[in-house]
């Protein structure tokens, strides 16, 4: 009798595994045909988990990314600069919200995602663990960090998962304004006094290599790229995007008289690309392991902000409950 029961179960398993195989094949066919996958559609569990990992990391990066710039809101040199920076930092909060919203459609709660960030389980972009030491850093962050973000995120507008791809359209429009305001700060500094020019060069020197690291490990060490590209979550590999960024950004530096801090940087007439020096992957791994210049400070600030906001979350929940009780009565 027991054996019979086991036989039955395994036959059921086989049927469900066969069903799953059919579903997976038709899912991949939809992806290959450039159809968007929507929240209620069947999807492989690993696709769902990959998206939750990437979208939530992206959302966390937007929220943590407010800190290095927020640091300069009270010190921006003019009222105009202050209001632009304020709008930019608010945009980043908005991006975090769209992205958490997109991830929620995959069946994870915002509380769980935020919990994973605060416990240190979830990652956020390595770039935000570097300090913004001078006003020129705000220019460099806008120009290089938002510039790298756009390069990575424009292809995400064509990501196979509908809610993520649609969220990215608006994010990219705003990032594009962010990049221009950053470059404009650099233009103005390079037209200024010798001291201002030196400040702009120093910011480029410090932000160049970390910006290249934003694109992630080189393709041979990128554990997720091959599968994410087959699922059309990623459209280009990490190295391809990094190369596009270098090719676009070096002439922008040259145009304003700045020097990219890489002795191996060279334009190759044949390939029509810049070849560039080796990235310090040890530094990248060190930052990912939590030992960058600002990792501890960023997490401490985020945890404190979360604790300080507890009363707002409680008040909002009480208000929503009161209204749903009234609607039900
Ligand atoms: N920092 O197999 P790989 C912004 C991790 S915010 C930290 O290549 P994947 C902005 C990776 O997660 C910019 N970790 O992974 C905001 C994985 O670890 P796990 C954020 C990194 O996912 C405010 C492992 O290394 N943008 O725009 O295929 C102001 C192996 O890597 C990093 C996004 O998040 C890194 N730099 O590719 C201004 C865009 N790189 O998860 C601007 C969406 C890699 O296995 N994300 N890792 O533990 C992506 O496009 C991809 O997730 C990545 C990595 C290209 C970042």
For the segment 145-181, what is each residue's pLDDT rounded down to a tens digit? 999 999 999 999 999 999 999 999 999 999 999 999 9
Model confidence at 82, pLDDT cuts 50, 70, 90, reads very high
Mean pLDDT over 211-232 rounds to: 97
Residue nearest to atom 16 of ligand 1 (CA): 62
Helix (H) or strand (E) holding 268: strand 266-268
Check if 181 has its Cβ closer than 6 Å to any atom of ligand 1.
Answer: no
Mean pLDDT over 238-244 rounds to: 98
Model confidence at 20, pLDDT cuts 50, 70, 90, reads confident
Strand partners, 275: 266
Model confidence at 327, pLDDT cuts 50, 70, 90, reads confident
**Ligand 1 midpoint to CA 56 (Å):** 10
Mean pLDDT over 292-298 rounds to: 97
Check if 179 has its Cβ closer than 6 Å to any atom of ligand 1.
Answer: no
**Ligand 1 midpoint to CA 87 (Å):** 25
Residue nearest to atom 47 of ligand 1 (CA): 216
Rounded to the nearest 10 degrees, how much is the dihedral formed by the CA atoms of 102, 87, 257, 261? -50
Top pLDDT among 325 and 185 is at 185
Mean pLDDT over 269-278 rounds to: 97
The yes-or-no verdict on residue 236 having pLDDT over 80 is yes
Check if 243 has its Cβ closer than 6 Å to any atom of ligand 1.
Answer: no
pTM of the model: 0.93
Neighbours of 177 (CB within 10 A): 15
Question: Angle of helix 194-213 relative to helix 146-153, nearest 10 degrees?
Answer: 30
| pLDDT for res 10 | 53
Residue nearest to atom 18 of ligand 1 (CA): 123
């Amino acid at each position: 009798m027991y054996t019979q029961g086991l036989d039955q179960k395994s036959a059921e398993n086989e049927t469900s595994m066969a069903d799953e195989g059919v579903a997976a094949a038709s899912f991949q066919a939809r992806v290959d045909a450039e159809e968007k996958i929507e929240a209620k559609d069947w999807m492989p569990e690993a696709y769902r988990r990959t998206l939750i990992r990437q979208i939530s990391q992206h959302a966390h990066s937007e929220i943590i990314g407010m800190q290095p710039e927020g640091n300069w809101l009270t010190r921006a040199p003019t009222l105009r600069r202050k209001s632009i920076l304020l709008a930019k930092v608010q945009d980043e909060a908005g991006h975090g919200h769209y992205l958490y919203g997109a991830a929620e459609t995959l069946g994870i709660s915002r509380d769980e995602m935020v919990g994973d960030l605060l416990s240190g389980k979830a990652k956020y972009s390595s770039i935000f663990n570097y300090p913004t030491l001078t006003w020129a850093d705000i220019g460099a962050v806008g120009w290089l960090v938002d510039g790298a973000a756009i390069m990575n995120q424009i292809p995400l507008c064509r990501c196979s998962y509908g809610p993520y791809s649609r969220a990215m359209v608006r994010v990219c429009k705003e990032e594009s304004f962010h990049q221009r305001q950053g470059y404009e700060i650099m233009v103005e500094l390079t037209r200024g006094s010798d001291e201002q020019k030196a400040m702009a060069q120093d910011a480029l020197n410090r932000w160049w290599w970390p910006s290249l690291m934003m694109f992630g490990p080189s393709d041979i060490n990128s554990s997720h790229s091959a599968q994410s590209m087959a699922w059309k979550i990623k459209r280009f590999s990490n190295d391809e995007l990094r190369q596009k960024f270098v090719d676009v950004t070096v002439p922008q530096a040259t145009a304003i008289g700045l020097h990219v801090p890489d002795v191996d940087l060279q334009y190759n007439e044949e390939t029509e690309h810049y070849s560039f020096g080796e990235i310090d992957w040890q530094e990248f791994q060190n930052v990912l392991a939590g030992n960058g210049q600002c990792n501890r400070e960023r997490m401490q600030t985020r945890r404190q902000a979360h604790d300080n906001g507890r009363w707002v979350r409680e008040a909002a929940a009480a208000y929503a409950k009161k209204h749903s009780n009234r609607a039900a009565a």
